[in-house]
Structure 1
Amino acid sequence: MAVTRSAPIAPTAWRVVWWFGFVSLAADMVYEGARSVYGPVLAALGASAVVVGLVTGAGEAVALVARLAFGPIADRTGRYWSLTIVGYGLTAVCVPLIAIAPRLGAAGLAFASTMILLERLGKAVRSPSKSALLAHVASAVGRGRGFGVHKALDQVGAFAGPLVVAAVVAVASLWWGMAVLAVPGAVAMVLLLTLRRRVPDPSVYDVSPAPAALEAPVPSRGWWAEAVGSGLSADFFRYAVAASLTTGALVTFGIIGYHLTVDGLLPVAGVPVVYAAAMAVEAVAALAVGSVYDHTGPRVLLLVPVLVALVPALALGPALVAVLGGVAAWGVAQGVQDSTVKAVVADLVDAPRRATAYGVFAGIQGLFAIVGGVTAGWLYERSVPALVAVVAVTQLVALVLLVDTFRRSARRFRAG
């Protein structure tokens, strides 16, 4: 008598959301642990504030602009999982390699900068695909809550990674702090490959599948047309510009960490501890704002420009208490930008073009990020009050654009 094997039971939607979160938790230990000391790392290799702003701003730009290519590639090929795996792999490899930078002499700064940019490229490779996969699963639990819980788990790693780095820096050196991050990188890859095997098609969790007309293959467009978002709505682009103004104007932690170190406000080992605290704030903000978004709609995002405007006014001052307040504002703004902001994109764009939309959205953010990073570094060395004023003006424009966007697209946003 033949024995038949029953098909394995698919994990619940919430379990998959949590599993994605655990992958991000381990990966965030790697790149957020490193990111917490990018300012001191680059300073130790001879970088100025302008160079720190350029490298960290360019890193954010690469992580965002390159999605213009990888979003359409994901939608055209359907290789969402492959791109996600390759992207995480770049992060797991490049960050620990920064540890060898001081052994390279004069080339050390260029090497470390290259590794930072390659790690950020990994973010660009994986993010549109990962967000598209997660959007399917999160629709079964509420996209605001799903992205919020994912971001909260992500931030547990972002909190733990800097603390690990701080401990290693305190007892060994800055460079050993980079090397130890190879361990959570390996854990992230094992978890990701296991999840891929268990859930090969996350779209089965989508509670609102696209109608038949939308399930057909996406109409053939040239690569450039895909990259610039041909066919995406005016509401989407208006929202993308508004959100990108907040991204570009949010001073990078590289500049804040540089300020803390160079101005003697904290020892190097204390900088990642401050960053870890910011990550904890970011996690709470992602959960809280995601829940509010599901009940009230996108109006909660009007808080972001206000927070972004506060950051340089507080975080780049001479008093440590004010700096810590600015870092807290930075953490809340980061948490909303990296979670609930994405939920709005999922509501504005239909599933067959969602990865493309995430790529276009991130590309626009990236263009603003590199301009913002260089400008912040340049103004920091010349006039912090001027930097504060420039950020405030851009956030007023962002606030006006967000209000206009949410009014125009009110019918598309329904709480819950």
Structure 2
Amino acid sequence: MPDSPLDTSQRVRDISVHLILLLGVASLCGSLVSNGARSVTGPYILLLGGSAAVVGLIAGFGEFVGYALRFVAGSYVGQGRHYWKVAMAGYGLLVAIPLLAFAGRWEVAAFLIIFERIGKAIRTPARDTILSHATAAVGRGWGFGVHKALDQAGAVIGPLVMVAALVFTGGYTAGFLLLGIPLFGVAIVLLIARSAVPRPGRLEVQLNGRGEETADLPGIRPYATFIFLGMAGFAAFPLISYHFKAQAIISDAAIPLVYASAMAVSVVVALLIGRAFDRIGAHALLTIPVLSTAMVLFAFSLTPGMAVAGSLAWGAGIGIFETVLRASIAESTALERRGEVYGILSAVFGTAWFMGSAVMGVLYDVSLTHVVAYVIIVESAAVAAYLWMYRARIVVRFQEEIGDRIP
């Protein structure tokens, strides 16, 4: 006797929750490795002889590579449905992080940092497409919010590993080597997840027979413009941590602790914004320009308390942007184009972060006032782009309603 639609829906929901949690644990381990290293890349490059401009360039170019190459990876995933193979290959490049322990020059460290970002570019479209299928049964915002919260939990633990290494050894070598241990956890969890759900696309198909009926994003240009401007004014943490060390605001050992605190904030914010997205949709993105502006005013202060507050605002921004961006793409994009759209918008995201970080790194060497002015101008433009995007959504909905009424 075949399962009833109710039984099928419950079974798909149970499998989807299991898959989201498994991918969340894999991301937790991977984020522990990558964010443990990222929490100290600014002062580590300074220790190896790099300048503020070098830090900004490396951080920005690393993010650019980590997002721009997602267009290629997303197209490959969309065409061949090689979700698991691509995801595992990308996670494998995390091996670059423990190798930082042996970098004697900032140029070598820069290569390894960018190499790890390439791995991020390879794995993310595949992982997010798998998640998009699983979140159909549990709510887009909530599903991506839970995954992001687990991911950010790893981002909290990783910097704490670096704190312990700096406190007990006084150097970075032991910390980078310790960050290699969770790589085994990533491999084990991914193998379990692939064995449990070898064809994740079937989850969405089984949910209602054909998968969710979704329309393409209502004009990708205003959406992409908002993402570009919003991220162009969103500082990378390596530049913030460089500021902490260069201005002697807090100690070296406290810098990864501040980063861990920012990631802890992002865990809570990801869960809250995920629930909010399921109720208000992409309107949640409007908080990004506000947070970015507040962040630069506080994070680049010379007062320790204000600088830490700015770092926490940075963490909140990470939790909001990455949760809402991924959920809105899954909700608004047809199944057959989802991998491609993830790739396109991720490329825009990364290009903006690269350009913004590079510009802010150069401006920092001029004066902090120039950095603040730049962010205020860019984020004001992002608000205007949001209004353009909102108007485009209204037009699309109106056209759909008129179309439904015409016999």
TM-score by length of 1: 0.88
Q: Is 1:248–2:232 an aligned residue pair?
A: yes
Q: 1:150 aligns with which of 147, 151, 154?
A: 147
SS in 1 for 2:253: helix
Structure 1 stretches of 4+ with a deviation exceeding 4 A read 208-214, 231-234, 410-413
Cα deviation, residue 205, structure 1: 2.2
Instruction: Provide the rounded CA distance (Å) in 1 between the counterparts of 2:342 and 2:159.
Output: 28
Q: Is 1:58–2:61 an aligned residue pair?
A: yes
Instruction: Provide the rounded CA distance (Å) in 2 between the counterparts of 1:357 and 1:154.
Output: 22
SS in 1 for 2:63: helix
Residues 37 and 176, structure 2, Cα contact 8 Å, conserved in 1: yes
Q: Is 1:179–2:155 an aligned residue pair?
A: no
Residues 302 and 403, structure 1, Cα contact 8 Å, conserved in 2: no
Instruction: Provide the rounded CA distance (Å) in 2 between the counterparts of 1:117 and 1:84.
Output: 18
- Structure 2 unaligned residues grouped into runs of 5+: 1-10, 399-407
Q: Is 1:280–2:264 an aligned residue pair?
A: yes
SS in 2 for 1:52: helix
1:270 corresponds to which letter in structure 2? A
Are the structure 2 counterparts of residues 391 and 201 from structure 1 closer, same or farther at C-alpha, using a change threshold of 3 Å?
A: same
Q: 1:297 aligns with which of 273, 281, 288?
A: 281
For residues 92-119 of structure 1, the C-alpha deviation after alignment (integer angstroms, 9 at most, x for no partner) is: x1111011012xxxxx211110110010
Q: Is 1:70–2:73 an aligned residue pair?
A: yes
Cα deviation, residue 39, structure 1: 0.4
Q: Is 1:38–2:18 an aligned residue pair?
A: no
SS in 1 for 2:181: helix
Cα deviation, residue 208, structure 1: 5.1
Are the structure 2 counterparts of residues 136 and 323 from structure 1 closer, same or farther at C-alpha, using a change threshold of 3 Å?
A: same
Cα deviation, residue 311, structure 1: 1.4
Q: 1:138 aligns with which of 135, 138, 142?
A: 135
Q: 2:23 aligns with which of 3, 20, 31?
A: 20
Cα deviation, residue 412, structure 1: 6.2
Quote the residue 2:92 is aligned against.
89
User: Taking every aligned residue pair, what percent have the same amino acid on both sides?
Assistant: 34
Q: 2:379 aligns with which of 370, 395, 409?
A: 395
SS in 2 for 1:409: helix
SS in 1 for 2:182: helix
TM-score by length of 2: 0.90
2:38 corresponds to which letter in structure 1? R
SS in 2 for 1:182: coil
Residues 218 and 393, structure 2, Cα contact 8 Å, conserved in 1: no
Residues 278 and 328, structure 1, Cα contact 8 Å, conserved in 2: yes
Residues 284 and 324, structure 2, Cα contact 8 Å, conserved in 1: no
Instruction: Provide the rounded CA distance (Å) in 2 between the counterparts of 1:365 and 1:395.
Output: 14
Quote the residue 1:197 is aligned against.
195
Cα deviation, residue 326, structure 1: 0.6
Correspondences of 1:198-277 after superposition (within 5 Å) = 198-206=196-204, 207=207, 210=210, 235-277=219-261
Quote the residue 1:165 is aligned against.
162
Q: 2:122 aligns with which of 117, 125, 136?
A: 125
Q: 1:347 aligns with which of 331, 336, 340?
A: 331
For residues 334-356 of structure 1, the C-alpha deviation after alignment (integer angstroms, 9 at most, x for no partner) is: 11111111111122211111111
Instruction: Provide the rounded CA distance (Å) in 1 between the counterparts of 2:279 and 2:257.
Output: 34
Cα deviation, residue 328, structure 1: 1.2
Instruction: Provide the rounded CA distance (Å) in 1 between the counterparts of 2:213 and 2:21.
Output: 32
Instruction: Provide the rounded CA distance (Å) in 2 between the counterparts of 1:289 and 1:212.
Output: 22
1:196 corresponds to which letter in structure 2? R
For residues 8-46 of structure 1, the C-alpha deviation after alignment (integer angstroms, 9 at most, x for no partner) is: x98522121111111101111000100100101111110
Q: Is 1:115–2:119 an aligned residue pair?
A: no
Aligned CA RMSD, in angstroms, stands at 2.0
Instruction: Provide the rounded CA distance (Å) in 1 between the counterparts of 2:253 and 2:46.
Output: 14
Q: 2:52 aligns with which of 44, 49, 52?
A: 49
Instruction: Provide the rounded CA distance (Å) in 2 between the counterparts of 1:48 and 1:213.
Output: 51
